[in-house]
Chains A and B, each alone.
Chain A
Amino acid sequence: MEFLNPFFWLGATALTAPILLHLVRRHRRERVPFPSLMFLHQIPTKELRRKKLTHLFLLFLRCLGLLLIVAAFSRPMVSGTWFGNLAMGTPRSLVILIDSSMSMSREPVWQKASEVAEQRVRSLTGGDEGLIVRFGETVEVLSSWEARPERLLSVLHSRSGASFEGTSYGEALRVASEQFKEQQANSRKEIVLITDLQLSGLPESQKWRLPDDVILTIESVGEESANLFVEEVRLERFSFGEQHPYPIVTLLKSTPPQRLQGELQLFLEGQLIDRKGFELNQDGTGQVTFRPFALEAGPHTGRIVAQVEDLLPADNIFFFVVERRESQPITVVSSRPSSMVYLKSALSSGQNLPFRVEVVEPPGPARLIPEARPVLILDNLARPPRPDALKAYVTNGGGLLVSLGNSVRPEAYNRLAAELFPAELDQRQFIRSRDRNFTSITDVDWQHPIFSVFQESHRAGLVSVQFYSYWKLRPQQGSTVLARFDDSNPALLERTLGRGRVLVFASSLDRVWTDFPLRSAYVPFWHRLAGYAGGWSASAAAMTVGEILGSDQYGAKSERGSTSSWNIVDPNGQRVIGLDQETPDFVELKFPGHYEIRKNKKTDWVAVNSDPRESDLQQVPVDKLLARFRAERPATSSSPQATRVSQEEHRQPLWWPLLLAAALVLGIESLVANHRRRVIE
């Protein structure tokens, strides 16, 4: 038997009250005025005391009544005994759901969580069964349903220690509730969530609810505590110059807000290259900017370290990887190079560009190798040059962009439509209507990487572009229309071929058929289009724990068949992919630090950091957490203790009998006391 409110047993000290009353009350008589005490003497105390303890039966009844009340309010919970089983009736199915996110690694939170988990395991008796699940961002079922506590305890002990993951209560509870499918329908289903109640783990909206028959009990094992962490570092992975293109901006945050001071150190390849002091603002945020540093060719590991001491040291370090690369050419084949001034200007504007523009006349470069020329643009050519070379170029990973103008011969393109281009050319469209003489792009796949940059108000910049003429296209099978004119004719089409892709723009690049070059959307459009065609994308200098490193990101896909030459070593020095293992489709990044990717004799790095949301140790009220997941049950508790009361009400079959017994005893006491008074009177 355990007690929900064991501190109520302190109320047992109230038992002294009736005894003292019995002793003292007769002593404290009413004071009667008397003219003089001259002829009276003080009675010895011993003689008075002899008269004190009377009505022992009444005293016994009063003490018993109080004792029963104290016992009732201490809320005895029956479990683990034959009486408990008798009272409970049905066996329990208990899922012990342990939060193993990074915030639980604080001392002594994890130790406390382990103790609570062990205590819960030991509470399993009789026909009860238990199962252990731990979760962070991901959920891991550690055991099968097990009736023997010692088995569950060994599972608990085998997986000790918190992870570096974030917190996701929704997924954890969903997986935990799914475990009950294996259990008998008549068993009592209970989930004990052992957590530090981190607010960041609570989903903003949650439609999924726990089934009605599942009881959720929350064991809070952590408290809100102050923590400073590196919230964000604005850093580009790739640099196409001799130094990093931008100042490195580091954002620091403290929760709860406090004005901390300290030092921030910037390390590159283990060498301290810069240090800056910081002082957080009133709102607990701060910003430190490091000057751009020089880079040699190749990838380099680095870290930014905040020199402070707190409960979560892992989030005081931000790991990153920067890499210096050479820019690659975008080759524009145009019969009128002078007309390419707009395109050339657009693709040359900006900092740290991964490409540079070169304009050549037809038939273009003698050798089309994707690695050397990732993007080839055919501008308004009468016919595509060297079709076989183009096809090989695209198949091997090249990006081919075709813009159509008034020089284009459709039959020359249509001959290649089946095997190279995404569409056949039908006829030129000249916009001549009574109302207007232009058309616009209106139907756009805004989620596509090319157009995703045009969000909200920026879309107007694209849809307001006027097109006076374009080629009417008939999409080929396997092609995708990414944008259409307002008359529903395709404006931009895409076709994937081998490892490359072909994109056809139905209008011209210059000002002959459109005013696009004069519009603000022209530059970002061509940057995105060229980047997409060439496979360039801005790459973050760091990833986050829990993210997936796809095989395409570390190049395994392209080297299938030679997996033995690949290795990934995590920050702890452990090999993630063994020499004898087949290359997996992805690798889960579990630890903050630098993952080393070895490919033949080349080494690449991926930096991983903990999720900054996990560093915010603000707690969510238990009621709110329960309300988010419980099935339409009003939250009635305001504290973890109170939550337990509501959740475990049914485990307290002694509550009412004890109260009734107390009422009965006190009723008898009243009768006896009244009877005695009447007798005395």
Chain B
Amino acid sequence: MSKSPSLRFIDPLVLSRIRGLQLIAKTVVEGFVTGLHRSPYHGFSLNFSEYRQYAPGDDIRSIDWKVFGRTDRFYVKKYEGDTNCQMYLLLDNSASMGYASGPISKIDYARYLAASLSYLAVRQSDAAGLAAFDSGVFNRIPPRAQYRHFLTILHRLEQLELGSRNNIGEALEELARLIRKRSIVVLISDFYHEVEELSKTLRFFHHRGNDVILFHLLDPVELKMPLADSCTLQDMETSDYLSYVPDHSRAGYLELLQQHIGDLQRGCRDARIDYTLLSTDEPLDRALYSYLSARQRRY
């Protein structure tokens, strides 16, 4: 299948041959930006916004020494760009994310996506943070807008290992309490969870003033279930197994999956949450569009 020249660098298969998340992120974002007809840098500004009294923890480089000379008090300069946007990447690293029917697993795709979004955010002077979860939350990196912080995120993404069973409900509840500032919360997962409970948690995010973007990540095999031979399928998280007979099982599976996706879409729509279904064999641009759309809505 031929792809448009502008998107050729963000084909996941191509990305899988590039070593290093930083290069992948740059490749994706630069390719993506080049293809845009309109600049994405809306609201980007380095204009002075206000002075604020220094508080422990503030970067001393931001202290305005002239003001200190005049007033003998420490004030830090705040710019508009510093408060542009804060993005929190929530990455599901449960065992089911390790599934791969092709060269790219879901967790790899999620890494690319997270890296690309982080880079895009840093390019726009947005702060990017990261948290991974399976049954609990770990590897949490608070959002920052510096480029070095972006490198930290990439490092954590590269070190990320698959966890155990997914308990997205509890994990998100915990994260929702940790995110105190209004943020764009990007949730990347395969969402093998009850929709009702998930919607409840997502609404909780939304009610706290966050913009939530859901990237529902599935493998093509999960989406189409093309297995032609009877086999025994083993759950990657619970190790349960059951017989799969194509004639008997496929239709029911697809029906339930579509029902699940539909429920998830409805739940997101009701909670005014962006929902994007991604297949690991499709380019990352759709995901980036979703992010930029959400950002545009906010700012």
Contact = CB atoms under 8 A, between A and B. Distances in A.
Contacts of B243: 29, 42-43, 48
Contacts of A40: 233, 242, 244, 249, 252-253
A33 B252 contact: no
Given A30-B232, A33-B236, A39 B96 contact: no
A41 interface: yes
A31 interface: yes
Given A40-B242, A42-B243, A48-B243, A35 B190 contact: yes
B107 to A, nearest CB: 11
A32 interface: yes
Interface in A21-44: 29-43
Contacts of B241: 31, 37
B249 A36 contact: no
Nearest to B99: A35
A490 B235 CA distance: 115
Interface in B212-239: 219, 222, 227, 230-238
Contacts of A31: 231-234, 241
B236 A34 contact: yes
Given A35-B99, A35-B192, A35-B222, A43 B248 contact: yes
Nearest to A36: B192
A38 B232 contact: no
A74 to B, nearest CB: 40
Interface string B145-160: 0000000000000000
B232 A39 contact: no
Given A40-B242, A42-B242, A42-B243, A33 B234 contact: yes
Contacts of B230: 29, 51
Contacts of A456: none
Nearest to A45: B243
B231 A36 contact: no
B192 A29 contact: no
A47 interface: yes
Nearest to B257: A39
Most buried by B among A29, A35, A40: A35
B256 interface: yes
A32 B99 CA distance: 11
Nearest to B248: A43
Given A37-B240, A39-B260, A32 B232 contact: yes
B256 A39 contact: yes
Contacts of A39: 252-253, 256-257, 260
Nearest to B244: A40
A37 B232 contact: no
B233 A32 contact: yes
A52 to B, nearest CB: 12
Contacts of A34: 99, 233-236
Most buried by B among A33, A34, A39, A40: A34
Most buried by A among B190, B242, B260: B242
B232 A29 contact: yes
Contacts of A37: 233, 235, 238, 240-242
Contacts, number: 79
B245 interface: yes
A38 B243 CA distance: 13
Contacts of B231: 29-32
Interface string B97-109: 1010000001000
Interface bracket on B? 20 to 34
A188 B243 CA distance: 66
A42 B238 CA distance: 15
Contact of B99 (A33, A42, A51): A33
A61 B255 CA distance: 44
Contacts of A48: 243, 245
Interface string B78-117: 0000000000000000001101000000100000000000
Nearest to B193: A38
Contacts of B227: 32
Nearest to A44: B248
A104 to B, nearest CB: 65
A43 B249 contact: yes
Contacts of B245: 43, 47-48, 51
B235 A36 contact: yes
Nearest to B258: A39
A36 B237 CA distance: 7
A425 B166 CA distance: 133
A29 B246 CA distance: 14
A35 B96 contact: yes
Nearest to B219: A35
Interface string A4-35: 00000000000000000000000001111111
A596 B114 CA distance: 120
A478 B41 CA distance: 153
A40 B251 CA distance: 10
A165 B96 CA distance: 87
A36 B232 contact: no
Interface string A302-346: 000000000000000000000000000000000000000000000
A38 B219 CA distance: 15
Nearest to A26: B230
A236 B251 CA distance: 108
Nearest to A35: B96
Nearest to A47: B248
A38 B192 contact: yes
Contacts of B192: 35-36, 38
A439 B132 CA distance: 125
Nearest to A34: B233
A39 B106 CA distance: 18
A469 B298 CA distance: 157
A23 to B, nearest CB: 15
Interface in A476-499: none
Contacts of A30: 231-232
Contacts of A51: 230, 245
Given A35-B190, A36-B190, 9 more contacts: A32-B232, A33-B234, A35-B235, A37-B235, A37-B241, A38-B192, A38-B256, A39-B260, A43-B245
27 contacts: A29-B231, A30-B231, A31-B241, A32-B231, A32-B232, A32-B234, A34-B235, A36-B190, A36-B192, A36-B236, A36-B237, A37-B235, A37-B242, A38-B192, A39-B253, A39-B260, A40-B252, A40-B253, A41-B249, A41-B252, A42-B242, A43-B242, A43-B245, A43-B248, A47-B248, A48-B243, A51-B245
Closest 10 CB pairs of A and B: A35-B96, A39-B256, A34-B233, A36-B192, A35-B99, A31-B234, A37-B235, A29-B232, A31-B232, A32-B231
